[in-house]
Amino acid sequence: MEPGRSSPVPPLRWIKPPQQARSKKTLERVLDAAEEVIRERGVSGLTVSEVVRRAGSSVGAFYARFADKEGLLATLHERTCAEAIATAELALDPARWQLADISSIIEEIIRFTAAQYEERLGIMLAFLALAAADVSYARRRAAFESKVGALLGRLLQERADEIAHPDPLLAADVTVRIVLGTLESDTVARRTSSTEPALKDEVLAGELSRAVAAYLGAPVSTSRRSR
């Protein structure tokens, strides 16, 4: 396949593991409601009364599950990390990309990841702030980064003949740091800067794809979307 051609695979998607037990479904409704409130109002606007109203639950049922709002936030972060890992397992499965070249893989995964950060801007901002203040959030985030690095390392090892970097595992670890660090920085910039316009999503994702390809020593995609 020519570098830059779109990979012939189904579109990537965010994975939400199936929930079967009734109690689990109730918990998911509460977490979904909390995420919705944070997206609209931020963590400071998150209240138990509003969460249970949107979830169709009750304050008593809430406190039967959580000691306080902080417990809800921790559980929401745990769920988000678990979903992100499940999504990464799908996105970085070597079998998924058998008919794609490395440049197409890099571009599609980075564009998908950037889109997820944009879609979940409010919750990402909340988690970044919480990780800065609470080590438990930082540890979960670090565990997620490590897992994604291992998954990408497996993929790069199978594609070692397509990259010039001599150490695919090290390259994978650094690539994950480059991508997540850049997207997290962009997320913060969207919130804090009132004078500097943020890069358009397509531009940022395209340039980030080019930077990662150059770092790995892979052909740089000539896709029209990257320009």
Average pLDDT (18-42) is 85
Over the stretch 100-141, which tens digit does the pLDDT of each residue have? Answer: 999 999 999 999 999 999 999 889 999 999 999 999 999 999
Whether residues 160 and 201 fall in one domain:
yes
Instruction: Report the range of poorest mean pLDDT among 19-33, 140-154, 177-191.
Output: 19-33
> Looking at residue 142, what is its pLDDT?
96
Whether residues 148 and 213 fall in one domain:
yes
Whether residues 36 and 127 fall in one domain:
no
Whether residues 58 and 94 fall in one domain:
no
Is the pLDDT at 44 greater than 50? The verdict is yes
Whether residues 101 and 53 fall in one domain:
no
13 located within any domain: no
4 located within any domain: no
210 located within any domain: yes
pTM: 0.85
In the predicted model, what is the mean pLDDT of the chain? 88
Whether residues 151 and 197 fall in one domain:
yes
Whether residues 186 and 216 fall in one domain:
yes
- Decide: 160 and 168 in contact? Cβ < 8 Å: yes
161 located within any domain: yes
* The token pair that represents 116 in the structure block: 């997820």
CATH number for the domain including 94? 1.10.357.10
Range of the domain at 42: 18-66
Whether residues 176 and 136 fall in one domain:
yes
Is the pLDDT at 91 greater than 50? The verdict is yes
Instruction: Report the range of poorest mean pLDDT among 79-93, 96-110, 185-199.
Output: 185-199
Q: pLDDT band for 92, please (50, 70, 90 cuts).
A: very high
Average pLDDT (33-48) is 93
